[in-house]
Structure 1
Amino acid sequence: MTALQVAHEAGSGAVPAWDDLRAFLAVARTGNFTRAAEELHTSQPTVTRQVQRLERQLGTALFGRTRREVWLTAEGRTLLKWVARMEDNALRGIAACTRPLPAEVHIASYSYSVGHLMEELEAEDSQVEWHVATLPPEPALHQLARDEVHAALCYTTTSSQRAEIASSSQGLAVQDLVQEPVWLALPLGHRLATRASITPADLVREKWISAGRGPLHEMLAEMCSAAGFVPDVRHVAEDPSTVGALLSHGKALSLSSPTIDTRGEFLLKPLENGPTRRIFLAWKPERLRPEATSVVLAAARRWYRRRAATNPDYLALLNSQLGEALEADHRERR
């Protein structure tokens, strides 16, 4: 039982004042009333009065004293452990309230490449416990609206989806990351593999792999419709690794992000007048402060550029979009 508990059960009065406890801590740490006063920016007589008042209130001596020495009594040592913990908890609470980022941040991302995104987030702030989950744009924004995540890294594809996301994003802040051209993924020996320029009209008789029935499938349908044909979808695969395996075996074509690592198993080619998707970060300003948003955006930009580095042709185009933002992030970190 601590001295505080003894005093309370004995009915000796209210919990001691924090200033008196701070004076006790300072003397215990410095072993000297004068040095404790200097640490607290007050006078030595004030510290002496505060410690004496605390001892009277607790009904026990906390220090042994001679003219040259001050030491903790057994009760003083017991009290020190608990009061030091009180101070530490108070400082942690103050830090949590004033830090730009919460202790935990949950992010929904459209990409399966969450490992590299986690690395970039931790490089920005290693004290935060980051959580990143892969979700398509629509469910991610719904979770954001319900306060289940702090931010959502999303993309828009078709015109109908842009309108739907705009209507569901009221009250959200949105910052564009990049306008990404969608490229054509095709087998290594495909007839179009050596073509310098490919348009949607060149793909009329091709077989297709659709990346699920979500946004990219809608984008494929919209692109082909604009070119005057219906895509012949032979395979539907949600997992990017399955799409890659089908491509490497020459089964069909697919639409793809230019940041996908082909590992030399298939080709990525730009599409002339092809579709694009807008990649953006969405968040609620009341849950993610401006300083925190800057941290997440900086990490997301570096993560995206890191992915694009697997495709030198696309990276050259990307630098014109992200170059200034990345340089600004670098200056802020320094």
Structure 2
Amino acid sequence: MIIPADGPRMELRHLRYFVAVAEERHFGRAAARLHVVQPTLSMQIQTLERELGGLLFERTSRRVELTEAGEVLLVEARRTLAQAERAAAVVHQSLSGQTGTVRVGFSGVAMLSGDLISALRQHHDTYPNVEVTVQELAPLRQAELIGEGSLDVGFCPRSKFDPDIHCRTEKISAIRLIAAIPSGHPLASRATINYTDLNRKQVIVYTHDDVEDLSLEYIRSQGQEPIVVHRAATTLGVLALVAAGLGIAVVPDTTEQIRIPKITFRPLLDPEASVDLLLLSRAPETSGAVNAFLAIARAGISL
């Protein structure tokens, strides 16, 4: 409904009826164009004229002509209807995810797994007008920012999240864990590695905001107690310490794609040696652009 400054109230349908009569110069043809009966159309135009306080048409037996006030209203009515159609189109694009912004957080492991890259590529192909920003963040930080509303989506390995953080987690895939060993280390000559081989060995682990590293949990779950000598917040940091000969690390197998000298990768024999890759989001999510991105990310889930 439109409320002009001087008080009269008009509805968009009144303006559509008015424009049809103004363009057809005939109530019968305008009624047929609008798919309404002529008496209904005449009544709506009379209602509009009463609201505005004057005649909009001069009626004759054969046709109708616009009054001066009608000519003025025709210009404004066309402008108003066009703006209303544009507003509806823009809102539809937003709700359907065709426009807007998606803010994505990710850990290095998620990028190497291919899940993030695949989601970004397919989303851009489907929704090229949506702006997507990406930022490398530790898992806990991703969850915190999503809970605060300053991040929309996260990709990260399973972590110990604060239960008070309002963040939804979904498993995307499982990433195998392997051993990253300094090339000069005695274990580097082995074809495969058991968790028992890591007992009392110097290891390098991840640290995510002081949360205990997941790979360390796996080692300890096998009854082994390694010696933690260093911690690093990122995969590249962990691998840098391994390459420097400072210890062994249990890392996702996707890290083999990173060619770093003086590191030997070896598979772990334990069939349970894996870590879940998670998709983080809000629940419920009201942004059409974010929901469209999440739909694409979920469609690519390979469990």
TM-score range, shorter chain: 0.5 to 0.7
Unaligned runs of 5+ residues in structure 1 are 305-320, 323-334
Alignment match of 1:230 (pick from 226, 233, 238): 226
Q: Does 1:21 align with 2:15?
A: yes
Residue 180 (structure 1) aligns with: 175
Alignment match of 1:271 (pick from 264, 268, 271): 268
Counterpart-to-counterpart distance in 1, 2:208 and 2:141: 14
Counterpart-to-counterpart distance in 1, 2:151 and 2:267: 34
What CA deviation, in whole Å up to 9, does each residue of 1:70-112 have, x standing for no partner? 898355223321332134324544675x648995554544447
Tell me how far 1:21 sits from its aligned partner: 1.4
Which has the larger Rg?
2
1:57-76 → structure 2 map (5 Å cutoff): 57=52, 59=54, 61=56, 73=71, 75-76=73-74
RMSD: 4.8
Cα distance change, pair 187–70 in 1 and its aligned pair in 2 (3 A): farther
Aligned residues, how many? Answer: 289
Tell me how far 1:20 sits from its aligned partner: 0.6
Cα distance change, pair 194–89 in 1 and its aligned pair in 2 (3 A): same
Residue 120 (structure 2) aligns with: 118
Which of 130-139 and 22-31 deviates more?
22-31
1:242-257 → structure 2 map (5 Å cutoff): 242-245=237-240, 252-257=247-252
Counterpart-to-counterpart distance in 1, 2:280 and 2:241: 33
What CA deviation, in whole Å up to 9, does each residue of 1:147-180 have, x standing for no partner? 55455444325xxx3xx65x447x7654322233
8 Å contact kept, 1:108–1:135: yes
8 Å contact kept, 1:101–1:292: no
8 Å contact kept, 1:224–1:231: no
Cα distance change, pair 210–21 in 1 and its aligned pair in 2 (3 A): same
Instruction: Look up the equivalent residue of 1:141 and give its one-letter code.
Output: A
Instruction: Look up the equivalent residue of 1:77 and give its one-letter code.
Output: V
Q: Does 1:138 align with 2:140?
A: yes
Q: Secondary structure at the match of 2:233?
A: coil
Unaligned runs of 5+ residues in structure 2 are none
Alignment match of 2:86 (pick from 85, 88, 91): 88
Cα distance change, pair 67–276 in 1 and its aligned pair in 2 (3 A): same
Tell me how far 1:60 sits from its aligned partner: 6.7
What CA deviation, in whole Å up to 9, does each residue of 1:182-221 have, x standing for no partner? 2223456765556432112334576544444557862344
Counterpart-to-counterpart distance in 1, 2:184 and 2:229: 20
8 Å contact kept, 1:28–1:80: no
1:200-239 → structure 2 map (5 Å cutoff): 200-204=195-199, 208-212=203-207, 214=209, 218-225=213-220, 226=222, 228-231=224-227, 233-234=229-230, 236-239=231-234
8 Å contact kept, 1:153–1:280: yes
Tell me how far 1:282 sits from its aligned partner: 4.5
Residue 313 (structure 1) aligns with: none
Q: TM-score normalized by structure 1?
A: 0.61
Q: TM-score normalized by structure 2?
A: 0.66
Tell me how far 1:42 sits from its aligned partner: 1.2
Residue 41 (structure 1) aligns with: 35
Counterpart-to-counterpart distance in 2, 1:258 and 1:29: 70
